[in-house]
Structure 1
Amino acid sequence: MAAGGITIENLPKELPLDTFNKLTNNFSQDRLQGTGAFGSVYKGILDDGGLVAVKKLAENAPVPHDQVFATEVQNIMVLEHENIVKLLAFCREAQNRLVQISGRHIIAEITETLLCYEFFPNGSLEKNLFGDQSTDWETRFKIIKGICNGIHFLHTLPLPVLHLGLKPQNILLDEKMTPKIGDFGFSRIFGKDQTRKNTQSIVGSVGYMAPEYLYKGEISARSDIYSLGLIIMEISTREKNTSSPVQKHARNYIEGVKKSWTLEKIISEYTELEEQEHGFDQVAGCINIGLKCVEIDQHKRPTIQMVLDMLNAIPMDEEVSLPV
């Protein structure tokens, strides 16, 4: 269905609701890519065949539409980094709609909030982490570095951005498997001299929230480091963090990784790395970094700069030049 001659190159920042309807074929089920806490994501097709992802915010999202809109559009739209999802366009349009309230049908003004992003054919990191066709170690190592580079960019902005919703579902992979951090609905902009803040509303990803945030409502850059540590461990071990709504914290998973993932286990699980000089060291190094990031005492966790320094200190295998 045509979308008024729109391509990626000439995509306006603000689009009317009718255009989003055309891009997604009226948000048809066959375009649905997934559903999360903030709403549903649909594939949008531009006139030139280019693809975009359209997020339609849910009316019962855990964070009010106004807050998500302000965060993602006013703050995140201007961010430019290889490892941050690019917000391309948006829509915020009120419409009169027939709704049922207390058994009665009334006409109410409903504001539709839509966000348009780059489209990622490889989907989320979660879809690529586990299973028989799981991603090879070289790619996993690059993904870890890319995520850390993205967090470093956010945390070192003049006004730092805390994501506060880091999890594999919110990290998307492009055609080259480059990770892009997305879904900034929970994020906070921190003042230059702020180091921590308390919040009354505890919202986030079960099993990825730092304990001081989960139990005290205290947030800081170290909250993201905790979530990052769990993601690094999941990528490195290929084992899923099995936290549940009943057991909101990830201590059992963390203790399991700490106890089980010895060098012997790494060698047995990554037999394909036997011929690489530093492959096992890389896996062990990343697991060790992940464990440092999930210290219960937040003050013992490394900063994102320290994480990058540790990653860069891990030995790399030299590129072997093939004869021409």
Structure 2
Amino acid sequence: MMAVHKNIVRPIGYCADTQCQAMKYNGKLVLGEVRERLICLEYVSNGTLEGHIGKYGEVDWNQRYQILKGICQGLRYLHDEVHVFHGDIKPSNILIGDNLVPKIYDFGLSRSFEGQTSCIAENIRGTLGYIAPETFDGILSFKADIYSLGVVVTELLTGSRGYADIDDVRKLFNPHLDQSVAIDLFLLN
């Protein structure tokens, strides 16, 4: 089902191309497929929410409220109407359109939860600092998107990231991280 809502970025088109190419694999010539896909999205004029955080003089409290309300309406639509878990709610995945209308996009980690409210995942994906703690146990649910939304709300209201100190991030997430998973926490800075 295609999501159509004023707070969800609208897809305009999609194309896919598959070409066969001869290539060497383990010293043998094999025929392989090269697939390319392209999704064309509507143009959203004012960049991402990340670019608006911390600009107190430019975004007043009423505008912040309207932005947050729009994000909440978009998430409610995704969860209640089309049963989609986004999986990576963060300021850089929220575009700001005309009149500061927020539009959720980047559905690369999303999943359809048709008929269910959660699922178990083997691969943990998302952005540290925005991932709900239960996600590290492999539990994906709409609640994890709401947790991420809470981090976004805090950032928009305070004008700064919730985890400024790398040691705070380590203390919070180290008990949940598998030692075999290599995550460079310094990417958070």
Q: TM-score by structure 1 length? A: 0.47
Q: 1:142 to 1:101 in 2, by over 3 A?
A: farther
> Whose strand proportion is higher, 1 or 2?
2
1:100 deviates by 8.7
Which residue in 2 is equivalent to 1:156? 80
1:240-251 to 2 correspondences below 5 Å: 240-242=161-163
1:229 deviates by 0.4
Q: How far apart, in 2, do the equivalents of 1:197 and 1:80 lie?
A: 24
1:177 aligns with 2:107: no
Query: Is residue 207–residue 250 contact of structure 1 (8 Å, CA) maintained in 2?
Result: no
- Secondary structure of the 1:186 match is coil
Which residue in 2 is equivalent to 1:89? 13
1:255-270 to 2 correspondences below 5 Å: none
1:199-278 to 2 correspondences below 5 Å: 199-213=121-135, 215-242=136-163
Query: Is residue 209–residue 226 contact of structure 1 (8 Å, CA) maintained in 2?
Result: yes
Question: Which of the numbers 109, 115, 120 marks the counterpart of 1:198?
Answer: 120
Unaligned runs of 5+ in 2: 174-189
Unaligned runs of 5+ in 1: 1-74, 253-324
Q: 1:108 to 1:149 in 2, by over 3 A?
A: same
Which residue in 1 is equivalent to 2:4? 80
Q: How far apart, in 2, do the equivalents of 1:161 and 1:187 lie?
A: 7
1:136 deviates by 2.1
Q: How far apart, in 1, do the equivalents of 2:43 and 2:83 lie?
A: 26
Q: How far apart, in 1, do the equivalents of 2:91 and 2:58 lie?
A: 14
Q: How far apart, in 2, do the equivalents of 1:190 and 1:130 lie?
A: 35
- Secondary structure of the 2:74 match is helix
Q: 1:87 to 1:246 in 2, by over 3 A?
A: farther
- Secondary structure of the 2:128 match is coil
* Structure number with bigger Rg: 1
1:201 deviates by 1.1
1:250 deviates by 9.2
Letter in 1 for 2:97: D
1:205 deviates by 1.3
Letter in 1 for 2:87: L
Letter in 2 for 1:201: N
Question: Which of the numbers 65, 71, 87 marks the counterpart of 1:141?
Answer: 65
1:91 deviates by 1.0
- Structure with the greater relative contact order (CA < 8 A, sep ≥ 6): 1 or 2? 2
Q: How far apart, in 2, do the equivalents of 1:124 and 1:181 lie?
A: 10
Which residue in 2 is equivalent to 1:186? 109
Q: TM-score by structure 2 length? A: 0.78
Q: How far apart, in 1, do the equivalents of 2:125 and 2:68 lie?
A: 25
1:98 deviates by 8.6
Q: How far apart, in 2, do the equivalents of 1:248 and 1:107 lie?
A: 46
Counting aligned pairs with the same residue, the percent is 36
The number of residue pairs the alignment matches comes to 173
1:242-321 to 2 correspondences below 5 Å: 242=163
Which residue in 2 is equivalent to 1:113? 37
Query: Is residue 163–residue 169 contact of structure 2 (8 Å, CA) maintained in 1?
Result: no
Letter in 2 for 1:160: H
Q: 1:82 to 1:246 in 2, by over 3 A?
A: same
1:134 deviates by 4.7
Query: Is residue 207–residue 249 contact of structure 1 (8 Å, CA) maintained in 2?
Result: no
